[in-house]
């Protein structure tokens, strides 16, 4: 079968084991996320406990528990003992000393908080409530009558004042670390889930790729996920059904080709009889007119024999490849003219054959293919020309078309144009658009003559294989009306044609 790998009989998709539901697979990763969150929370709690246990961090209520002791130590000091005051105050507090007249003396509280601390020292401010936490202020009267205000928040703090001043408080640090680790863990779980799901989908992608490549002789894999396996099972059924359908189509086409080959072979026997008798007539004594008719019949039988041979080759898969070569143009045109005139004489039609100047001596072409193209167009014109009318055939050399098609087809860009015009009903607008399509029979005027929609298609395909083109047109009424078909072939070697 063309383009399809068929090495074994297609059948129904095999019975598949039921895998895990996709929801359960996804739930498993939610469980991973929950377990990771709990582990991180526990790790954060343990880390905080270790920091407190080793004395590196004060607990959140250290300000309350150490306030009385710290106040007692400060009461024995004076405002001039700044170093002793700083040593007596733990890092869980911030402090500021004010003289009796309210002047700021010293402290480690931020400058922006001094006015608030002054209010706490002299106006009785004890607690300040914020959006997320509250701050407590406790004034302590020193030995010389000055006031030291202690302030603290209900939040853990480093025991080292250097770390306290350089870093955020331990609670925020641990929460930040928890957030960063949570994001990293989530990213890792997501990446893991993506890899697993991608691996689960691999059999589906592989099956789609192999079907696209027309390889139908394979077993669709499984993923272990119920919903994906259901899709894989449906794809396996589609693969098996498509394989059976293509095999049946191939068998039908093969039987059809065999029948065509057999019929074509059977036709060779009566054709041989016809050719033998015509040859005898040509060799015998005949009047000139009869001899010419016999010669035309002999030539027609020769062509028919060649077409039958080509038909047998196509049916058996041995069709000759497109093989252009440099051929003398003069003899080829003379042969085409003789065949056209013989064809026209049988239909009571005249032929006006003209050849323009500047034609090359040779043309690179597949001569048999060019002959088929021109004779199909000529036969089409003869069939639709009124009896007694004239079919005009013009052969000429043309310059390269403006769109550059000639330059693409050959180095010189010139084209050999063969125009065949008749005085028949002409082409309808639809035929002008679609006349070269295979099996197109849309024009009732032409379909009435038994057309199968192949003549113009064969001609157009032959011109295209040479790197040329086909043009359908209607002649002006002043020129007699009718249809005109122009075949164009490159005057120089086609590049990559065929």
Residues 171-215: pLDDT tens digits? Answer: 899 999 999 999 999 999 999 989 988 888 888 888 888 888 888
Rounded to whole angstroms, the Cα distance separating 482 from 389 reads: 11
Query: CATH 3.30.450 in the chain, residues?
Result: 61-154
Residues 485/417, Cβ–Cβ less than 8 Å: no
Q: What is the pLDDT of residue 402?
A: 56
Whether pLDDT at 7 is above 60: no
Q: What is the DSSP letter of 143?
A: T
User: How would DSSP label each residue in 348-395?
Assistant: T-EEEEEE-TT--SEEEE-HHHHHHHHHHHHHHHHHHSPTT-EEEEEE
Residue of higher predicted confidence among 419 and 254: 419
Q: What percent of the chain has pLDDT over 70?
A: 81
pLDDT at 316: 60
Task: Provide the pLDDT for residue 261.
Answer: 67
Question: In which band, very low, low, confident or very high, does the pLDDT at 407 lie, cut at 50, 70 and 90?
Answer: very low
Q: Return the H-helix or E-strand segment holding 146.
A: none
Of the ranges 122-126, 249-253, 383-387, which is most confident? 383-387
Q: Topology of domain 61-154, per CATH? A: Beta-Lactamase (3.30.450)
- C-alpha closest to that of 299 among 284, 279, 280: 279
What does the pLDDT look like over 333-366, one tens digit per residue?
Answer: 999 998 888 888 888 899 999 999 889 999 999 8
C-alpha distances (whole Å) from 45 to each of 36, 55, 56, 96, 179 are 14, 16, 15, 33, 14
pLDDT, residue 270, reads 75
Compare 281 and 423 and report the one with higher pLDDT: 423
Using 50, 70 and 90 to split pLDDT, how confident is the model at 495? very low
> What distance in Å separates the CA atoms of residue 494 and residue 498, rounded to the nearest whole number?
9
Cβ contacts of 119 within 8 Å, gap of 6 or more = 125
* Alpha-carbon gap, residue 440 to 78, rounded angstroms: 114
**Which pLDDT tens digit goes with each residue over 93-150?**
999 999 988 899 999 999 988 898 998 888 877 887 766 678 899 999 999 999 999 9
Helix (H/G/I), strand (E/B), else coil: 462: helix
Please give the pLDDT value at position 32: 92
Mean pLDDT confidence for 295-302: 72
Tokens of 56: 């590196």
Question: What is the structure's pLDDT at 368?
Answer: 85
Cα–Cα distance, 9 to 496 (Å, whole number): 40
Residue 10 pLDDT grade (very low, low, confident, very high; cuts 50, 70, 90): very low
Q: Note the pLDDT of residue 451.
A: 55
pTM of the model: 0.50
Identify the pLDDT of residue 498. 42
Rounded CA separation 122/149 (Å): 10
Split at pLDDT 50, 70, 90, the class of 264 is low
What sign for the dihedral angle of Cα 7, 13, 15, 21?
positive
N- to C-terminal Cα separation, the chain = 23
Higher-pLDDT residue of 398, 321:
398
Residue 250 has pLDDT above 70, yes or no: yes
As a whole-number percent, the residues of the chain with pLDDT over 90 amount to 36
Stretch 242-269: mean pLDDT, rounded? 76
Split at pLDDT 50, 70, 90, the class of 275 is low
Q: Which residue has the higher pLDDT, 306 or 94?
A: 94
In which residue ranges of the chain is CATH 3.30.565.10 found?
321-490
Give the single-character DSSP code of 448: T
- The mean-pLDDT minimum among 175-189, 223-237, 414-428, 441-455 falls in 441-455
Average the pLDDT over 310-329 and give the result.
Answer: 71
Q: Is a pLDDT exceeding 50 seen at residue 409? A: no
Instruction: Please say if the pLDDT value at position 403 is more than 70.
Output: no
The predicted pLDDT at position 148 comes to 94
Identify which has the larger pLDDT, 181 or 413.
181
Task: Give residue-wise pLDDT tens across range 22-52.
Answer: 888 889 899 999 999 999 999 999 999 999 9
Q: Which residues of 288-313 are buried (b: 16+ CB within 10 A; e: fewer)?
A: eeeeebbbbbbebbeeebeebebbbe
Architecture in CATH for domain 321-490: 2-Layer Sandwich (3.30)
């Amino acid at each position: 079968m063309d383009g399809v790998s068929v090495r074994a009989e297609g059948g129904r998709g095999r019975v598949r084991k039921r895998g895990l539901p996709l929801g359960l697979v996804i739930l498993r990763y939610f469980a991973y996320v929950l377990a990771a969150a709990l582990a991180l929370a526990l790790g954060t709690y343990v880390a905080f406990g270790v920091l407190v246990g080793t004395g590196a961090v004060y607990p959140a209520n250290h300000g309350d528990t150490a306030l009385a002791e710290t106040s007692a130590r400060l009461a024995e000091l004076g405002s001039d003992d700044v170093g002793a005051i700083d040593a007596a105050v733990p890092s869980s507090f911030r402090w500021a000393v004010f003289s009796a007249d309210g002047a700021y003396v010293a402290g480690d509280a931020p400058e922006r908080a001094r006015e608030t601390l002054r209010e706490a020292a002299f106006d009785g401010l004890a607690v300040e409530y914020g959006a997320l936490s509250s701050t407590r202020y406790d004034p302590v009267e020193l030995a010389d009558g000055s006031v030291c205000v202690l302030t603290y928040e209900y939040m853990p703090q480093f025991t080292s004042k250097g770390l306290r001043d350089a870093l955020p408080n331990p609670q925020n640090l641990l929460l930040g670390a928890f957030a960063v680790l949570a994001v990293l863990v989530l990213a890792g779980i997501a990446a893991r889930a993506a890899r697993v799901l991608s691996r689960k989908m691999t059999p589906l992608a592989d099956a789609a790729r192999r079907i696209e490549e027309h390889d139908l002789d394979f077993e669709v894999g499984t993923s272990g996920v119920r919903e994906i396996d259901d899709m894989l099972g449906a794809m396996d059924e589609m693969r098996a059904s498509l394989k059976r359908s293509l095999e049946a189509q191939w068998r039908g086409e093969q039987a059809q080709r065999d029948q065509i080959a057999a019929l074509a072979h059977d036709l060779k026997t009566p054709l041989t009889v016809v050719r033998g008798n015509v040859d005898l007539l040509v060799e015998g004594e005949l009047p000139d007119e009869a001899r010419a008719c016999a010669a035309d019949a002999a030539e027609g039988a020769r062509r028919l024999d060649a077409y039958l041979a080509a038909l047998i080759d196509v049916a058996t898969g041995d069709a000759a490849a497109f093989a252009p070569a440099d051929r003398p143009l003069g003899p080829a045109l003379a042969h085409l003219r003789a065949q056209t005139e013989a064809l026209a004489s049988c239909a009571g039609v005249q032929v006006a054959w003209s050849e323009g100047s500047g034609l090359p001596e040779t043309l690179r072409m597949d001569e048999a293919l060019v002959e088929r193209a021109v004779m199909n167009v000529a036969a089409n014109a003869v069939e639709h020309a009124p009896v007694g009318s004239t079919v005009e055939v013009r052969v000429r050399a043309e310059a390269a078309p403006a769109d550059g098609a000639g330059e693409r087809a050959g180095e010189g860009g010139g084209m050999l144009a063969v125009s065949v015009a008749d005085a028949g009903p002409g082409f309808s607008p639809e035929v002008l658009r679609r006349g070269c399509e295979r099996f197109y029979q849309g024009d009732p005027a032409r379909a009435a003559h038994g057309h199968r929609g192949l003549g113009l298609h064969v001609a157009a395909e032959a011109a295209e294989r040479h790197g040329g083109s086909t043009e359908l047109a209607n002649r002006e009424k002043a020129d007699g009306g009718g249809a005109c078909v122009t075949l164009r072939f490159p005057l120089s070697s086609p590049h990559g044609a065929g």
